[in-house]
Amino acid sequence: MSYRLYIPGPLTISESINQAMGKPMVGHRSKDFVALYEDMQPKLKKMFMTQDPVYLGTSSAWGVMEGALRNVCRKGVLNCMNGAFSDKWNDVAKRCGKYAEALQFDWGKPVDPEAVRKALATGKFDCITFIHSETSTGTLSPIADIMAVVREFPDVISIADSVSSFSTLPINKDELGVDILLTGSQKALALPPGLAIFAVSERARERAKQMTDRGYYFDLIEFHDNHSKGMTPSTPCISLLFGLQHRLIEVEAEGLENRYERHRRLNEQVRAWAFGKGFSLLPEAQFATRGLNCFKNDRNVDLERLNKILKSRHKLVIDGGYGKLKGKTFRISNMGDETDATIATLIAALNDGLAEQGM
Ligand SMILES: *Cc1c(COP(=O)(O)O)cnc(C)c1O
Sort strands 180-184 and 157-161 into parallel, antiparallel or unpaired.
parallel
d(CA 52, CA 174): 8
From 66, 91, 139, 161, mutation site for ligand 1 pocket: most ligand atoms within 8 A of C-beta: 161
**Residue 135 in contact with ligand 1 by CB distance below 6 A:** yes
The rounded average pLDDT for each run of 10 residues, N- to C-terminus, in the chain (359 residues) is 95 98 98 98 98 98 98 98 98 98 98 98 98 98 98 98 98 98 98 98 98 97 98 98 98 98 98 98 98 98 97 98 96 98 98 96
12 C-beta neighbours (distance < 10 Å), count: 18
Residue 266, SS3 per DSSP: helix
**Residue 166 in contact with ligand 1 by CB distance below 6 A:** no
Q: Please give the helix or strand (H or E) that residue 296 lies within, else none.
A: strand 292-296
Q: Model pTM?
A: 0.98
Architecture, CATH, for domain 15-252: 3-Layer(aba) Sandwich (3.40)
Q: Where are the beta strands (DSSP E) in 148-282?
A: 157-161, 180-184, 196-200
d(CA 304, CA 132): 29
Whole-number pLDDT of residue 276: 98
**Residue 62 in contact with ligand 1 by CB distance below 6 A:** yes
CATH superfamily label, 4-10+256-355? Aspartate Aminotransferase, domain 1 (3.90.1150.10)
Q: What is the DSSP string of 157-176?
A: EEEEE-TTTBTTB---HHHH
Whole-number pLDDT of residue 1: 75
The domain locations on the chain are 4-10+256-355, 15-252
Whole-number pLDDT of residue 76: 98
**Residue 60 in contact with ligand 1 by CB distance below 6 A:** yes
d(CA 164, CA 322): 14
Q: What angle do CA 179, 183, 186 make, to 5 degrees?
A: 175
Atom of ligand 1 nearest to the CA of 8: 15
Q: What is the largest CA-CA distance in the chain?
A: 62
Sort strands 139-140 and 133-134 into parallel, antiparallel or unpaired.
antiparallel
